[in-house]
Structures are given as C-alpha cells and as structure tokens.
Amino acid sequence: MKIKLATLLLVGSTFTPAFADDIKTLSHIDSVTVYPQGADIIRVGSVDLKPGEHTLLLEDFPGSIDPQSIRVDGAGNAGLDITSVDSKIIELSSVDIDAKRKVINDQIETLTDERSGLDQTVVDAQAQQRLLMSLADKQLQPGSTTETVKTVDPTALGNLVDLVGARLTTISKSIHDAQLRQKAIDKLVVDLNIKTENLAPDEAAHMQVAVHVLASAALTGTVKVSYRIGGAGWQPFYDAKLAIPSKGEKAKLEIIRRAEVMQNTGEAWDNVAMTLSTARPTGSTAAPDLGEDPIQIAMAEALGRVDMAAPAAPMVADDKMKSELDSGLVAQNALKKADVLAIQRQAVVEMAGFNANYIIQGRVSVDNTGTAKKVRIATDEFDADLQAITVPRLDPNAYLTAAFTMKGDAPYLPGVVNLFRDGMFMGQGSLPQLSAGEDTKLGFGADDLIKVKRAEVKRNSGTEGIITSSNVQELAWEMSVTNLHDVTIPVTVIDRKPFSTQSDVTVETLAGMTAPTVTDLDKKRGVLAWNFDLEPKAKKEIKTGYKVTAPEAVHISMNP
C-alpha cells in the first residue's frame, strides 16, 4: 500500500518540536540524473514506525544542495501522512572534523600494520617452502662425494611425496590468502583516504532534513528524498571510425557516443542507477528581451563632415584548416579465432519530450575526487559521401572529408571527436549540436595520394585612363590537383577573390579564368569553390585571377 503523499517544500529554517519522537533515519543514494551542469539525486531510507507522530531525521546531506528542491516521497505497508518537511544547515566544528579524521587515520594505521604483518607471513611461508624442498632433496641425495646414492623404499618414497605435497599445498594456500587480504586492505585504505579528502571543506556544513509524519498504524516502508545539487555534470565525446570503401561501394561511418561524468558534490555516488539527460535546468528558460535601437544622429557642423557611406566591412579571412593532431597508430592486435570480443554496454535512449535521457545499464559508482567516469551511450552507423577538400592558398594538402546526414531521435550535443581512418588514429575534431536530418561533415586527415600545387602566374600594377587616371592591379594563379588513387575522388578546391564596398573601387574576373562551381561559399563574400570528380591518375588545372581598379588617390592593398 502506498504512503499518502504530502510532498512539501522547505517551509522554515527551524524545526517544529511538536512530535512525539525523533528517529534518525539512515539513507543511501539510489539514483542520479546528471545534466550537463548539475544533478538530481534520490536518496532512499528504510523506516519502521509505531502508530503516532514522528520526526524522521535524515542527516549528512551536502550543505550545497538547493533547499527549495527538496521533495519527499515514500511507500509502505500501512497508511502514513507526510505533514511537513524542514531543513537546516548544521555547521560541523573543526573539532568534530579532526575527531572524524583521527578515527579514519587510526583505521588506516591498523590496516597498514596488518598489511606489514602479512608481508612477514608471506616471507616466512616462502622460507618454509624452500626449507621443505631442501629437506626432501637431502633424503634422496648422498651426504658427501664418497657416499653412494641412497636407496629409498618405494613405500617410504610415496609417504615422503605425500607429506611434502600436503605441506606445500597448505603453505601455498596461506600465501594466496595473505596476498588476497593485502589487496582488500589496499582497497580499504584507498576508500579511507577518499573519506579523509572529503572531510574538509565539503563536510564543514551539512544539510539536515526533518520529515514530520503521522502513522495511522505500525508500518515498515521506505522514504525517498530528492534534491538538486551543483558540482556535477557530464559532457559528450565521440569516436568516429571511417572505413574506406572498395571500388563501387559506399563509405561507412561509425560514430560511438560516449559520456564523461564528473562530480564534486561532497558525497560519493556508490552503486547508483544513473541517467544522463540533455536537459539544461541551469540555463535560461526563456528568450532574452531585445531592447530598442534608435539611430543616433549628430549634426554635420559639429563633426565637420558626415560620411554616410557604409563603412568598409572587415575582410573575412579564412581560418587555416587545422592540421590533424599528432597522428599516431592505434595498436591493431590480431584476435585469435577462439577469442571472444568484450561486449560494451550502451545506454538505453529514452526521449522525454524535447530532451533525451540516456539510461546507463547496470549500476555505477562515481567518487567525489574529480575522477572522470566514462560510459558508452550508443553507436550509430551512417552512409558517408567522401571528398577531398583543399585550400591551396593556405595549405598544400588535400583533406579527406566524410559528409553524412544525422538520423535518429536523440540529438548530438557539441563535443570532441576522436577520428579513426581504417583503424588508424588521425587526430581530433569536433561535432556541433546536431538533430535528425541535419547535414554535417568530418575531416579525416591529409590524403597523401592527392597532390595539390598553386603558383602565381601574374602580378601587374599601374595606372590607366586618359582624362582621369586609375590605379590598377592584376593578379592570377594556376592551381593543379592530381589524383594518384585507383578510384575516382570527388574534389573541392576553395579559393577567394577580394570584394569592394566602395562604388569607385571595382573587382573584375580576368578573361580566360576557370568559372567556379560556387560563389560566396557558405555565404562568405568572395569565397569560391570548384567541385569536380577526378578520375584515377588524372590531373585537373584551375585558373583564377582578378583585376582591381581604384581612383588614383586610393591605395590598393591585397593579400596574395
């Protein structure tokens, strides 16, 4: 039978002393929902109540929790009313902290002494092994060089072997047991050291939650306390594995979604059910308010001159393509036919309205020392369109790029992506936030079988005109791309020409230039792209150039 619920907010900072008795109730963290920033915690405690009014005291909550987020729920085998919920901060004095630390240090010292004793136990047992083997050997070997080899009765020999074997088995077991205990001690010491680190300053203040209840009959049940806390979060990262296809096949791209969970909340998450949510409760909940923007007018007489022409737009410089970071080899150990690959657990994806929840399978632990817990969320496979992209003005390399379309319901959050091409680590890139149906692409490093060259073939400057003179500059380049692959490769060559924001400065394409496939690529003024399929062992040449004309008094400055 469910408990009657009266889930309440914190209503005061002091406790109402109108209940029959106070019952300290132990609780443990049962489940955690982690957001990119912050987390929701659910603690569970067992209750065994007599009929009447009681106050359940749940202590040792972190002092940093949001008191307004505290909610109480529960279930049991008889009726129970939750009448109110209070909470307050309990300051832990330095004396109390020192006392707790002394208790932990004493435990560590006791365990350390026990471990040292086990070291001696192992040494003594190994000495017994050596002594036993030496004594057994002496029963069969002559005592001196003049003494003949001893004859041993078969029955006596069998008894000797049995005795030595039984004793060696006992000694080996004692060594094994001692070493197992040492491993257990090492783990206990690590846990105690973590507790010591968590004592200060996080444990200098705790939140105490008091749940006032009225039991209509004796009952046994559970009480759940949920609350929100900062100091926790998760961020996604990805592995992108590109398989280069054989001739006539489609390229395949596998993206493994992973998450890195960290927390510094003042409490350890031990053996909890974990859900990762894409919701952002700490961010804005409504669009910002945009204010008015009246034009500010100044009198020409005050300024001397008002130039109403539009200001020159800043030249948009292409960001240089990032070279792949520290390319290295991923160890490729061949598996034997008898080997069975380890199964990597993935999260169960649950769409919750406009957000996605990733329910991690099994139960996990995340300590409070800043250790990053890495979990696997999901694996997606895509058909990818490959092309080589080159920007010879900035980089003489062509970069293999895989373009694909997002699918599925769960969005991709922005994150770092580790790039692999045919099992080789090619460096790191990044993925933007993506939803189903969106197109994006990833670069997978320089393609050494695509050769790119760019050479300047013309640079003239001077004046022209009869009645009025103008400054003129002419620039031209030739670019070539050679495909050394055995298959056709789609290629995109990107370059630019300047643009003018002044009516008396003009930019013209020179005659005989190769017309670009795309102008104003990605809505960047003057950025050009040539797209073409390059056959095996073929070479493509592109000519690009322009003429800039400006009044004689205007100085022209251009990047090569």
Per-residue pLDDT of 366-397, as tens digits, reads 887 777 889 888 899 999 999 999 999 999 99
Lowest-pLDDT choice from 37-46, 128-137, 276-285: 128-137
Q: What is the pLDDT of residue 264?
A: 86
User: Predicted confidence band at 193 (pLDDT cuts at 50, 70, 90)?
Assistant: confident
**What percent of the chain is predicted at pLDDT more than 70?**
78
Return d(Cα 124, Cα 174) in angstroms, integer.
Answer: 10
The average pLDDT across 500-522 equals 92
Q: Per-residue pLDDT for 110 more than 50?
A: yes
User: Predicted confidence band at 353 (pLDDT cuts at 50, 70, 90)?
Assistant: low
Lowest-pLDDT choice from 24-33, 82-91, 192-201, 405-414: 192-201
Top-confidence residue, 203 or 63: 63
Q: Per-residue pLDDT for 12 more than 60?
A: no
Residue with tokens 């832990």: 92
Q: What is the pLDDT of residue 140?
A: 60
Q: Per-residue pLDDT for 2 more than 70?
A: no
Lowest-pLDDT choice from 138-142, 215-219, 374-378, 526-530: 138-142
Amino acid identity of residue 26, one-letter, is L
Top-confidence residue, 204 or 285: 285
Query: What is the signed CA dihedral for 138, 142, 145, 146, rounded to 10 degrees?
Result: 150
Return d(Cα 428, Cα 272) in angstroms, integer.
Answer: 32
User: Predicted confidence band at 514 (pLDDT cuts at 50, 70, 90)?
Assistant: very high
Region for residue 548 given its phi and psi (left: phi exceeds 0; alpha: psi -120 to 50; beta: otherwise): beta
In sequence order, the β-bridge partners of residue 67 are none
Q: What is the pLDDT of residue 9?
A: 36
Q: What is the pLDDT of residue 481?
A: 96
Q: What is the pLDDT of residue 559?
A: 65
User: Predicted confidence band at 343 (pLDDT cuts at 50, 70, 90)?
Assistant: low
Number of DSSP helices (H) and strands (E) in the chain, helices first? 3, 26
DSSP letter, residue 9:
-
Lowest-pLDDT choice from 100-109, 192-201, 220-229: 192-201
Token output for 307: 């130039």
Report the mean per-residue pLDDT for the chain: 80
The average pLDDT across 256-278 equals 90
Strand, helix or coil for residue 422: coil
Please, are residues 465 and 370 in contact by the beta-carbon 8 Å criterion? no
Q: What is the pLDDT of residue 300?
A: 45
Q: Per-residue pLDDT for 44 more than 90?
A: yes
DSSP letter, residue 412:
B
CA–CA distances in Å: residue 99 to residues 94, 106, 192, 198, 200: 8, 11, 14, 14, 12
Q: What is the pLDDT of residue 560?
A: 62
Top-confidence residue, 13 or 381: 381
Q: Per-residue pLDDT for 464 more than 80?
A: no
Question: Mind listing the pLDDT tens digit for each residue in 153-186?
Answer: 667 666 767 777 788 888 888 898 999 999 999 9
Which of the given ranges, 197-201, 227-231, 294-298, 407-411, has the highest pLDDT on average?
227-231
- List of residues 6+ apart from 104 with CB closer than 8 A: 192, 195, 196, 199
The average pLDDT across 427-440 equals 91
The average pLDDT across 135-153 equals 60
Q: Per-residue pLDDT for 352 more than 70?
A: no
